[in-house]
Chains A and B, each alone.
Chain A
Amino acid sequence: MPELAIFGQHLLNGLLIGCAYALIAIGLTMIFGVMNIANFAHGEFYMIGAFATFYLVSLLKVNYFLALPLAVVIVLVLAIVIQQVIFKRLRDAPVMTTTLVTIGLSLLLEHLAHLLWGPQPQTIPNPFPTAPLSFAGIYTTPLYLFAMLVTAALIVIGHVLIQRTRMGKAMRATFQNKEAAALVGIRIDSIYLYAFGFGAALAAAAGAVLGGFIPVEPTMGGVATLKAFVVVILGGMGSFVGAIVGGLLLGLAEGLGAGYMSSGWKDAIGFVAVILLLLFRPDGLFKRG
């Protein structure tokens, strides 16, 4: 049945973006939960991840599969610098202060990107054969499948890191009760560094992977940040599961929305959902975890 295939196609189109949203949102929600910072510059890590990949592959002729982790490392280094220079000093600063700083940072990075790389949208070269694959009337490409695989794997890895490793557990402990965590011997500064770096790395990975499908340009970070915030609010600020489920749901909803409504309005889905959610369930869809 063609309707089913079309439906499936829209869902599939939304799935990758959903995974990307989930990746970006996990980092954002973690930074919020551990450091109590609403990182408005988060999307810029996504953007720089994409740009770094583009430059590595296109200009430095680095192998695509090598460029992806390399780009993440580059962003990680940047994130560490930012954390040590700026956020370390703002450890218990009020909401207005940290938010304004992240807004400033977002502007700084975006306009630096303009200066360094120009406004021209780029696309990361595709290392896979471009011939579309199809099954049951739904079309996709090898690159798309690879991208989904990578993002899904990263989500799982992220989940495992948070739930199973010592660092992950320490982060979650800090979440719940900072003073208690410090008393127990957890070094808060290390946790902050880890959380911030981890979040930035995930966002960069999303950018690196997605850069093969969408135009890579300096303003792409802004949109990503907004969507990530929508996901984080829908899923509950500080909830990892919420970020994952929320990201996937939003991506799928937008995929369907773009397919059945005009693509201009699809962006509104998330924003309206946020305001509706606040009307009916102020604490988010999930509890903090």
Chain B
Amino acid sequence: MADTHSRRSPLATAATAAVLLALFALPQVVHNEYLLHLCIVSAIFVIIALGLNLIVGYVGQLSLAHAAFFALGAYVSGLLFIKFKWSMWIGLPAAAVITGLIAFALGWVILRVRGHRFVIITVAFAEIMKLVATNWIDVTRGFMGLPGLTIPALYIPGIGAIDLSSKERFYYVALTAAIITFWLCAKLVGSSIGRAFVLVRENEVLAESLGISAFRYCMIAFVAGAAMAGAAGSLYGHYVGFVSPDLFNFSYITIMLIMVILGGKGTLLGPVLGAVIFTFLPELLREASHYRMVIFATILILATMFMPRGIIFPLVEHLVPKRWRNKP
């Protein structure tokens, strides 16, 4: 919702500045490699969650193809690196664009239907992508995957090449990408397009009868979300250094959904918090991976049934003053 009538209070601006400062200062204070790793992965998942939130939270369609777009982005970027030696600086935008185009083509066909059939078809698409990655060995090398992806250096004229491969340095790359994504989402959500998203979600039939094309806005959310997932995939692939069909596992979409739903769908901060918390949390329960999934699954069921606004965001809403949040 475009809160055009509310002015950002000085408190809100100061708080935002403080948070940004803290985020940028983090590697100076935290030197633990493992924690930095989690921060990097969190940032990448923030991008994914924000993208998924556009489709699930704002227009209100459950897309299970999101993880496939993430994996696709990783493959695009990885293939460009392996075949043409193109660095992530090209791979990332290419991943975003190509994934966006694929989402456009897919959405053109499948966004004609919504509800259950849409959900199932997104699953079918994800499965096809997985099968392609696994079986098209000539291109994707199947389960051998694409190894050896590296984090590129940053060339600044006059200064030379800055090595970004350390965790401290790459953290800044991931953080910047996450902040840019957040900013883009905020702009989108605050615009007429964002308002139309919400109208389509709240009552599609009514919105159509007043002249809003649900298809058009679902497409915008779908493609934008997919492009973000693709970009995140590129980041992830280069960071981890290896891209394989495992990225298409159902567990990825599950955790993405948990981040968005439990974090608070339809808000901007909810998925961000969800991404961070559900990156760190599993690590705390690391050994008990099946126990952990049982617990998460139970929480997902209970939260969906009884807490449709999520857990994390409503909690935060209690604590944070009204004016500086974007309301759904």
Interface residues, chain A, with chain B CB atoms under 8 Å away:
32, 36, 38, 86, 89-90, 95-97, 99-101, 103-105, 107-108, 111-112, 114-115, 222, 226, 229-230, 232-233, 237, 262, 264-265, 267-268, 270-272, 274-275, 278-279, 282
Contact = CB atoms under 8 A, between A and B. Distances in A.
Interface stretch (B10-18, B116-124, B227-235, B320-328): B116-124
Given A101-B301, A103-B257, A104-B301, A95 B116 contact: yes
Given A95-B62, A115-B290, A38 B300 contact: no
Given A89-B305, A107-B293, A108-B294, A233 B300 contact: no
Interface in B264-310: 290-291, 293-294, 296-298, 300-301, 304-305, 308
B91 interface: no
Interface residues on B, range: 35 or more
Contact of B110 (A36, A105, A272, A275): A275
Q: Determine chain A's interface SS by DSSP, over half rule.
A: helix
B60 interface: yes
Given A32-B116, A99-B119, A108-B294, 16 more contacts: A36-B116, A101-B301, A103-B257, A103-B300, A104-B300, A104-B304, A108-B297, A111-B291, A111-B297, A226-B127, A233-B117, A237-B116, A267-B131, A271-B127, A275-B121, A282-B113
Interface of B: 56, 60, 62, 109-110, 112-113, 115-117, 119-121, 123-125, 127-128, 131-132, 134-135, 250, 254, 257, 261, 290-291, 293-294, 296-298, 300-301, 304-305, 308
Contacts of A108: 294, 297-298, 301
Given A274-B124, A275-B125, A96 B294 contact: no
B296 A107 contact: yes
Contacts of B294: 107-108, 111-112, 115
B120 A100 contact: no
B308 A97 contact: yes
Which interface residue of A107, A264, A265 has the most chain B CB atoms within 10 A? A107
Nearest to B61: A96
17 contacts: A97-B305, A100-B300, A104-B298, A107-B294, A107-B296, A107-B300, A111-B297, A112-B294, A115-B291, A229-B123, A230-B124, A264-B135, A270-B124, A271-B125, A274-B120, A275-B110, A282-B112
B309 to A, nearest CB: 12
Nearest to B304: A100
B135 A105 contact: no
A279 B300 CA distance: 33
Contacts of B116: 32, 36, 38, 95, 99, 237
Q: Determine chain B's interface SS by DSSP, over half rule.
A: helix
Given A100-B62, A111-B297, A278 B121 contact: yes
A275 B123 contact: no
Contact of B120 (A104, A105, A229): A229
A76 B270 CA distance: 38
A186 to B, nearest CB: 23
A105 B250 CA distance: 14
Given A86-B305, A104-B301, A233 B128 contact: no
Contacts of A112: 294
Contacts of B297: 104-105, 107-108, 111
Q: Which 3 A-B pairs have the closest CB atoms?
A: A107-B297, A108-B297, A104-B301
Contacts of A226: 123-124, 127
A254 B52 CA distance: 33
A285 to B, nearest CB: 14
Given A95-B62, A111-B293, A101 B298 contact: no
Nearest to B119: A99
A272 B254 contact: no
Contacts of A96: 56, 60, 62
A117 to B, nearest CB: 11
Contacts of B120: 38, 229, 232-233, 274
Contact of B257 (A32, A100, A115): A100
A99 B113 CA distance: 16
A262 B137 CA distance: 12
Contacts of A115: 290-291, 294
A10 to B, nearest CB: 19
A83 to B, nearest CB: 14
Given A264-B134, A279-B109, A38 B119 contact: yes
Contact of B128 (A90, A264, A268): A268
Given A115-B290, A115-B294, A237-B116, A265 B131 contact: yes
Contacts of A32: 116
A271 B122 CA distance: 10
A95 B115 contact: yes
Given A100-B62, A278-B110, A271 B304 contact: no
Given A100-B257, A103-B257, A278 B300 contact: no
